[in-house]
Amino acid sequence: MKIDLEELRKIDPNDVARWPAWLKITVIVVLSLLVLGGGLWFDTRSQLAALEAARKKEEELKKVFSIKAHQAANLPAYRAQMEEMKRSFGTMLRQLPSKTEVAELLVDISQTGLENGLEFELFKPESERPADFYAELPIKIQVTGSYHQFGSFVSDVAALPRIVTLHDFTIAPPKKKGRDILVMEMTAKTYRYLDEDEAKVMEASEAEKNKKAKGR
């Protein structure tokens, strides 16, 4: 089909009815292609965005699956570890004296000092202090003796079946001159397990004490 340029120049853009048939067909085809191409472009772009979102979601799901698979594979080890922690925790709780055993433990500590040849100048249990699931009982201790006796005493206290920790050591010569001994001051701490109700009562009491102290 030949295009007559002279005829094309004479075409009135506002008088579509007088356009030659070939021009009408060409315009219709071009417009159809533009509409179809635009529709395909917008539709394809939304599909590409959906595809990209699906790919990201797939990567996230793969990571979650990998983590879950690792946890499932190690579940027996986790359970064994949990059981071991429960056993260790139970062993530690058994090392905490009950309320009725605290007095006996205090006797054990003082007896340990006497067996090592120490002389007690001070042995003063203080008020219990709540801390999480247990109560802490500080004991102010002042003894006289030699370095060797001090070392044996500390070693024997650490070997007691109940948990006792020693803090704030000071060793100095005696105030009275002429005595070939030393004075050791320290704080021993033992711990007692608290049940839930007892812990709440002690926490409330401690909070009340702190409130009164701040109000002074």
Single-letter code of the amino acid located at 115: E
Over residues 171-211, the pLDDT tens digits come to 988 876 656 789 999 999 988 777 666 666 666 666 677 66
Q: Would the pLDDT of 74 be above 60? A: yes
Burial class of residue 187 (count of CB atoms within 10 Å of its CB; 0-12, 13-18, 19+): middle
Q: Which of 1-10, 32-41, 131-140 has the lowest mean pLDDT?
A: 1-10
Structural domain tally of the chain?
2
Q: Is position 81 within any domain?
A: no
- Strand intervals (E) in 55-163: 119-125, 129-131, 134-145
Task: Give 155's pLDDT tier (boundaries 50, 70, 90).
Answer: very high
CA 151, 155, 156: angle at the middle one, nearest 5? 120
| pTM of structure | 0.50
SS3 143: strand
Q: Distance between CA 6 and CA 3 in Å, rounded?
A: 9
Residues 143 and 208 in one domain: yes
Encoded tokens for 214? 């701040």
Residue 133 or 62, more confident: 62
Q: Output the pLDDT for position 111.
A: 93
- Residue 58, domain member (yes or no): yes
Residue 22 belongs to what domain range?
1-73
